[in-house]
Amino acid sequence: MNTETTITEIEFIKLPEVKKLTGLGTTKIYQMANDGLFPAQVKLGERSVAWIKSEVLEWNRDRVTQARGHSHQQSEQLAS
């Protein structure tokens, strides 16, 4: 194995933590994931799924960016 190879750590999180991080409910998370609007869960076993924490956090950052960008545009329009 090459010692210079960078290994990216993947941290899996279960539904309760996804809900805590996003403020979304179970049904909404699954609906949005099915619609391609939220990171898809990863099947860990026959009856176990989890999400990749970095993907959920990126989704959160995208929501903030959209909200701030939208708010900024509204403020500029009101000032005109």
Decide if 46 is inside a domain.
Answer: yes
Report how many domains make up the chain.
Answer: 1
Decide if 44 is inside a domain.
Answer: yes
Decide if 3 is inside a domain.
Answer: no
pTM: predicted TM-score of the whole model, two decimal places: 0.75
Tally Cβ neighbours within 10 Å of residue 30: 15
Decide if 32 is inside a domain.
Answer: yes
DSSP structure class, residue 73: H
Decide if 5 is inside a domain.
Answer: no
Decide if 1 is inside a domain.
Answer: no
Average pLDDT over residues 27-54: 97
- Domain assignment of residue 66, given as a range: 12-79
Tell me the pLDDT tens digit for each residue of 62-76.
999 999 886 555 555
Decide if 40 is inside a domain.
Answer: yes
Q: Which residues pair with 45 in a beta bridge?
A: 48
Decide if 6 is inside a domain.
Answer: no
Residue 8 pLDDT class (50, 70, 90 cuts): confident
Could you give the C-alpha distances from 55 to 9, 18, 19, 30, 49, in angstroms and in order? Answer: 12, 11, 14, 15, 15
